[in-house]
Amino acid sequence: MMPKIELLPVVIDIETTGLDSLEHEILAIGIKWGRKENCEKVFCRDKDTSEFSVIYKTLITLGQFLSPAIVGYNITNFDIPFIAARATKLGMDASIIRRLPRVDLMDVVSRYILTNKRRVSLAEICDYYGIERDSEFRGSLMPIFWENGEYHKIITHLQRDLRAEWALFERLEKYCAHNLKTRYKWDGEVRWIW
């Protein structure tokens, strides 16, 4: 009998002031680990909350889960390295974010769904599957919202993205399990624990 590898999917997404982790900062980090709305947290900066605090709270929360697997859209090339770079700059140990198994939904879509292995945006793939997403705000507006003190708009955008990524993960969960097995060369069946 094949061993079972049980993992809790934890969707993670970030909002930043720009795309370069050496020049820009994290504004908010969101995590979602279940189907219900109370299974998500968003840590957002405001005038009294530092980037250090947002990253620290995220890393502490990730450390509290049993058997988590990080899931997100373009997390391999953006979210995870951005968090790691900013945490290291601020003197934190962010190795947990690098150690945990991860499923990049962009890679799954490119590998299992698209015929020419091209990259598509989260908006494009959500539209394809009819998944509701944030069509009100774009990620490029987040620095403007930050400057204007409109933190609620950053939180709203991040929550909508988390929920869209979660819905995409649910749609592609079998592909995600296969992706984990091949990426980490695991023998056994990956089972998602909700």
| 100 within a domain of the structure (yes/no) | yes
Calpha distance 55→68 (Å, rounded):
17
| 138 within a domain of the structure (yes/no) | yes
Range of the domain at 28: 4-185
* DSSP states along 159-180: HHHHHHHHHHHHHTHHHHHHHH
pTM of structure: 0.95
| 104 within a domain of the structure (yes/no) | yes
Calpha distance 24→60 (Å, rounded):
23
H/E stretch holding 13 reads: strand 4-16
Calpha distance 19→3 (Å, rounded):
40
pLDDT at residue 1, rounded to an integer:
63
N-terminal to C-terminal alpha carbon distance within the chain = 23
| 96 within a domain of the structure (yes/no) | yes
Q: What is the CATH number of the domain that holds 162?
A: 3.30.420.10
- Domains held by the chain: number: 1
| 194 within a domain of the structure (yes/no) | no
pLDDT at residue 119, rounded to an integer:
85
| 192 within a domain of the structure (yes/no) | no
- pLDDT tens for the chain, residues 1 to 194: 668 899 999 999 999 999 999 999 999 999 999 888 789 999 999 989 999 999 999 999 999 999 999 999 999 999 999 999 999 999 999 999 999 999 999 999 999 998 777 789 999 999 999 999 988 888 899 999 999 999 999 999 999 999 999 999 999 999 999 999 999 999 889 999 97
Cβ atoms within 10 Å, residue 184:
12
pLDDT at residue 6, rounded to an integer:
95
- The answer to whether the beta carbons of residues 9 and 71 sit under 8 Å apart is yes
